[in-house]
Amino acid sequence: MVVGKMEVALLNFKLALQGILQNKLRSFLTALGIIFGVAAVIAMLGIGTGAKQSILEQLSLIGANSIVVKAKLPDAFNNTQEENNDQNTSSVGDPSEVKGYTPGLSLEDMRVLKTLMPTTDRISPEIVQDMTIIRDKTLQRARCVGITNDFFEINNLEVDRGKKFQEMHFELGTNVCIVGSAIATRLFKGENPIGKQIKCGHVWFKVIGILKARRIQKTKVEELSIRDYNDDVFVPITSFMLRISDRKRIDASDVVRGRGDERNDQLENYHQIDRAVVRISEPGYVEPSAELIARILQRRHNGKIDFEIEVPELLLKQQQKTQETFNFVLAVIAGISLLVGGIGIMNIMLASVLERIKEIGIRRSLGAKKLDVILQFLFEAIAISLIGGLIGVALGIAAAKVIASTADIPTVITWWSVCLSFVVAAGIGLIFGLLPAKRAANLDPITALRTE
């Protein structure tokens, strides 16, 4: 009994395919709406998935719940100070005191933040300086960065070979360093760098570790204001200040700054550290913590705003909202395309019923049941939808690749998006093919046979 039903269903399916093959052009035009709708769905899901993955990758680069505090260089600070004084929206104290001395961003500021803010998990201060790195006869221009071990934790960096800095390295200001994978390759071609010496500026450092290579796109470096750590040389921050440079040491420039001298814009960078990344313990505390950090630092710097604060996670969330809006627009377009495609299938199938009235009458007179006629036209509608879905998937994948290469938008095609597209295509064929199939089945066989 089951075999008989399967044979009947297979026969109806073959008849449906014959109907499609006899009208190839009409079937293709009917499927166009499905093709473009499915292509839009595939492209939309690819862009949406790619955007989510990109945001997760960017969060892994900057670290979750992070606040970035950057020192403003004297030129930038002087150019914006007057505007800040006029607005006076977040200043602390009397505006007339703004001309007072500012000590600049320092390690002491970070210690105070750690003490006063219970929401702070880790703080990673950094001193960055471009210099010449020398090893034997190889000379390389690179960045030397003074850090603490919290730097590796916050930025999700791992030491591939060797070891991290020890507490004694910070206490004694030891001449040791950890190098990025790229600069290690260039300085030590085919050699093991561990235990070797390199010269940073005028100071020799012993290599004790090599960072694990991290792939990072140039666009992400610019968007997130981060560096390509593969090209950096890292030393303990105390070693940097003792051996290379400590801008905190008092000199004549500090006296000039204290007087509010007009030559301020000619001064060198007076900040002890260039930036710091503050990681907050809970996501909900990030924004309030950023405001609190600004107030604490402004008070410590005598009302001067010679620093800037960024919350990368908020920027990424805003980017995600924009992406979701874009995806919603794409979803609407895809939905309209699929709806139009479904209506097109229904119209063509209704027209096909009128064209094939005599064929239907002959089948009914030879013993075909209403269910057989319904299945024939349903199979035909579903087959057109699935063929359109198959072409649409290929077109959608191609469109996603083109978008990724030309518009620099990440796209990721997943297996479930392809399956979803096929299910949607089959569903449209089933839903919009049902009415024409029922109309064909309800035709009176005698009347159908008399039709010319």
- pTM as predicted: 0.61
What pLDDT sits at residue 72? 85
- Which residue type, as a one-letter code, is found at position 119? T
What pLDDT sits at residue 12? 63
What pLDDT sits at residue 165? 94
CB 180 within 8 A of CB 230: yes
- From the list 158, 176, 159, 155, the residue with the least C-alpha distance to 167 is 176
SS3 283: helix
How far CA 15 is from CA of 31, 76, 344, 367, in Å, comes to: 19, 77, 21, 15
Alpha-carbon dihedral angle through residues 70, 74, 78, 81, given to the nearest 10 degrees: 30
Q: Over its length of 452 residues, how does the chain's per-residue pLDDT go in tens digits?
A: 444 566 766 766 676 677 677 777 777 877 787 888 888 888 877 877 777 676 666 665 666 688 889 998 766 555 555 555 444 433 333 333 445 678 889 999 999 999 999 889 889 999 999 999 998 888 889 999 999 999 998 888 889 899 999 999 999 999 999 999 999 999 998 889 999 999 998 999 999 999 998 776 555 555 555 677 888 999 999 999 998 987 776 555 555 555 555 444 445 678 899 999 999 888 788 888 999 999 999 999 988 888 999 887 666 666 667 777 777 777 777 777 777 778 877 877 777 776 667 677 777 777 777 777 777 777 878 888 888 888 888 888 888 888 777 766 677 787 877 887 778 777 887 787 777 777 777 776 666 565 55
What pLDDT sits at residue 90? 39
- From the list 250, 280, 276, the residue with the least C-alpha distance to 110 is 276
What pLDDT sits at residue 266? 46
Which sequence spans correspond to the domains of the chain? Answer: 2-58+317-450, 66-311
SS3 371: helix
How far CA 190 is from CA of 137, 140, 181, 198, in Å, comes to: 15, 17, 13, 16
Helices 370-406 and 312-355: crossing angle in degrees, nearest 10, is: 150
